[in-house]
Amino acid sequence: MNQLIRPINNNDQIWGDANAPLELVEYGDYECPYCGRAYPMVKEILRILGSDLRFVFRNFPLSRIHPHAFSAAVAAEAAARQGQFWEMHDILFEHQMTLEKGDILLFAGSLGLDIARFKDDLEQKALIDKVEADFESGIRSGVNRTPTFFINGKKYEGEWSGGQLLPYLMTVLSEVSSTGIA
């Protein structure tokens, strides 16, 4: 597979304009060191491309090797219920080495979240199911490591860590702008 099987939808965590010519989907794991290295790169891409890019983050917790990844993903989704997904997303990546439950509750407090509600949401089946659905959609789309990126629905097979993702996105943007086709 090299296509995004599940289309972007209202259940996704989306940053940016729905009509942006570029769509970047990341399947990531909050405890993955490679995702941690990709995080500032993605932030820089968002800054540079601005309104030309819509970014979607989907959970792909590799629980067998990252024991806190699944609970961190649920925590991000719980924060989303209080309108703070991206803030929690950032904190989790910026503090990858401290993802115990107590740490996550401290992060939620630092964001000003309603802690009682947050704790309750951490136990909600709907959020657990959402993380599992993200993971399953990744498997069906051919994700086999983290991070995995899709650009306008197609799996990016190039090297992301060598600074090649931004130039590739700029090339795709140029092609979309000149032809109107992604």
- Residue 2's pLDDT is what? 87
Residue 115 lies in a domain: yes
The pLDDT tens digits of the residues spanning 46-68 come to 999 999 999 999 999 999 999 99
Mean pLDDT confidence for 76-94: 98
In this structure, are residues 130 and 81 in contact, taking their beta carbons and an 8 Å threshold? no
Residue 2 lies in a domain: no
Residue 152 lies in a domain: yes
Residue 179 has pLDDT above 90, yes or no: no
| pLDDT, the chain, mean | 95
- Rounded Cα–Cα distance for residues 29 and 171 (Å): 27
Residue 1 lies in a domain: no
- Residue 182's pLDDT is what? 57
Residue 5 lies in a domain: no
Number of domains in the chain: 1
> Per residue in 154-166, is it b (16+ CB within 10 Å) or e — as a string?
ebbeeebeeeebe
Residue 3 lies in a domain: no
**Tell me, what CATH number does 136's domain have?**
3.40.30.10
- Residue 161's pLDDT is what? 84
Residue 181 has pLDDT above 70, yes or no: no
Long-range interactions of 158-165: CB distance < 8 A, separation 24+: 160/38, 160/41, 161/34, 161/37, 161/38, 161/41, 163/41, 165/41, 165/45
Mean pLDDT confidence for 163-169: 93
- Residue 20's pLDDT is what? 96
Mean pLDDT confidence for 101-108: 98
The pLDDT tens digits of the residues spanning 129-163 come to 999 999 999 999 999 999 999 999 999 999 888 88
Residue 1 has pLDDT above 90, yes or no: no
Residue 4 lies in a domain: no
Residue 6 lies in a domain: no
The residue segments making up the domain with residue 36 are 13-179
- Residue 178's pLDDT is what? 80
